Structure 1
Amino acid sequence: MMLVEVAAVMLLLGLLLGFVGAGGSGFIIAILTVVFGYPIHTALGTALAAMFFSSLSGSVSHYREGNMMLKTGAVVGAAGAIGAWVSSGWSSYIPENHLGWMTSGMLFSSGLALWFRMAYQAKRTGNQHNSPLQSRGMKFYASAAAIGLVTGTLSGLFGIGSTPFIQLGLMLLLGLSMRLAAGTTMMVIVPIALAGGAGYYSVGYLDIQLLVAVVVGTMLGSYVGAKFTKRVPAIMLKTCMVITPMLGATILLI
């Protein structure tokens, strides 16, 4: 019965996430722990694994639209998968109460990073964009690997997608445009979520039945919620995008 309730709540949450275009792993973690009482380690593993499905479908869409740099995504994603796999094991050594407020802090930071990304994007609008760093040479591989390892480690440890951090890294270090950064980030999250979810499963912190309830609810809700995105003013949408992870962080602190 609880799984049905989880799916219903995730359906409502999916409406919000689809509206703002967010992965919402932090919000999922907050709901599962605070509302339904699941251990935070289980919530982290479930949220991270759930991102695999949403990111996979998003990656296919971005690829068809030409919004993706495959080699860049492959290098960053491979490094991110290593970081997520390793750090997902580390989380089991962190006490639940400490992990809760640490994850909350990361969600607040994610909201701030998202705001910074929007400001950076606005600053570049109308200006000539720098060409992306060539996908070869030591500088490219070192920068791409650094982005992947850092963001993958954050994702595996705290169960978050690290989307704003990945996009900022792709734009600032590799010179990608916002459009290419958004599409490539979706590709990067796929191996990170898969490796992180597998890591949590290997240490017993992934509930498959709970995962199914979360995925079904959020994906159905997101599909409907996305239809309202173009129906509201841009300033309202941007405000909701920044507030969403911070709201999830606040719930975790309750």
Structure 2
Amino acid sequence: MVVQIILVMFITGVLLGFVGAGGSGFIISILTVIFHYPIHTSLGTALAAMIFSSLSGSISHYREGNIILKVGIVVGLFGAIGAWTSSNFSYFISAGDLKWLTSGMLYLSAIVLWLRMFIIEHRHSSGIQSNPLPVGIKFWLLSGGIGLVTGVISGMCGIGSASFIQIGLMFILGMSIRESAGTTMMVIIPIALAGGAGYYHLGYLNIHLLIEVVMGTMIGSYIGAKFTRRVPMPILKTAMILVPVTAATLLLF
């Protein structure tokens, strides 16, 4: 079973590295449908696995100057609160209901991802960059709101909420595409930590399974990323949308 999980996660990692997605929803579907782990365990494991990929990505973005630390800290702090609270609340949701809820959020994330692509293309064609950040209490309210909402989604459904966070940073805080992408990677770290801790507290985080998932996906994603620039852009965009849609559909079976 260990070898099978690592191998399947390696193949999954290749796909996720190719499309540039965190893929926690895809991991949840595979663990639940193929390897028959309880949905709560799958959610906790997938959420905790994001810590490692987000950490390495954040370091890279920080060195490139793509992160606004003030935003990342505040949104991440409130996101951690939301993730911790909702992950503990998931104990009271039945496995069947949690499957439907997670599947629905994955479908919604696919729609948001498509919307994000549309916004990026529009901003590029219009030459729109970024707006000044809000200040004072308005900054705290808007940033805290983004963090709480996306943190609750992540903690409850085990997904990274990257597309939701980026939309919030671009639309609500007026950040540029580059800044929102880098800062989102930073925000996911405390969300994944708090959500993973919540599932561990409930006994739903399988450490051995987590190690197997991380081993397979990290090696696979490194290889998969090398193919990203070697395919036509329409194919890549289609694949990015199909990943959460496929994950959501698998959970319904």
1:148–1:139 CA distance, 2 compared to 1 (3 A): same
Match of 1:173 in 2: 172
1:140–1:48 CA distance, 2 compared to 1 (3 A): same
Match of 2:242 in 1: 243
- The whole-number CA distance in structure 1 between the counterparts of 2:38 and 2:79 is 25
Runs of 4+ in structure 1 over 3 Å off: 130-133
1:26–1:107 contact (8 Å) kept in structure 2: yes
Q: Can you list the C-alpha shifts for 1:114-158, whole angstroms capped at 9, x where unaligned?
A: 000111111111324254333631111111100000000000000
1:88–1:157 contact (8 Å) kept in structure 2: yes
2:103–2:247 contact (8 Å) kept in structure 1: yes
Match of 1:61 in 2: 60
Identity %: 62
- When normalised by structure 1's length, the TM-score is 0.98
Tell whether 2:106 aligns with 1:74.
Answer: no
SS class of match (1:125):
helix
Match of 1:94 in 2: 93
SS class of match (2:31):
helix
- When normalised by structure 2's length, the TM-score is 0.98
Matched ranges for 1:18-167 at <5 A: 18-129=17-128, 131-134=130-133, 136-167=135-166
Counterpart AA for 2:56: S
SS class of match (1:31):
helix
Match of 1:230 in 2: 229
- The whole-number CA distance in structure 2 between the counterparts of 1:80 and 1:102 is 19
Tell whether 2:216 aligns with 1:217.
Answer: yes
- The whole-number CA distance in structure 2 between the counterparts of 1:179 and 1:191 is 20
Match of 2:252 in 1: 253
Match of 1:4 in 2: 3
- The whole-number CA distance in structure 2 between the counterparts of 1:32 and 1:144 is 33
Counterpart AA for 1:26: G
1:14–1:217 contact (8 Å) kept in structure 2: yes
- The whole-number CA distance in structure 1 between the counterparts of 2:23 and 2:138 is 32
Counterpart AA for 1:194: L
- The whole-number CA distance in structure 1 between the counterparts of 2:119 and 2:65 is 22
- The whole-number CA distance in structure 2 between the counterparts of 1:126 and 1:202 is 48
1:7–1:216 contact (8 Å) kept in structure 2: yes
Structure 2, gaps ≥5 residues long: none
1:108–1:246 contact (8 Å) kept in structure 2: yes
1:71–1:135 contact (8 Å) kept in structure 2: no
1:133–1:140 contact (8 Å) kept in structure 2: no
Q: Pairwise CA RMSD of aligned residues?
A: 0.9
Match of 2:189 in 1: 190
Q: Can you list the C-alpha shifts for 1:77-109, whole angstroms capped at 9, x where unaligned?
A: 000000000000011110001100110000000
- The whole-number CA distance in structure 1 between the counterparts of 2:155 and 2:112 is 18
2:44–2:158 contact (8 Å) kept in structure 1: yes
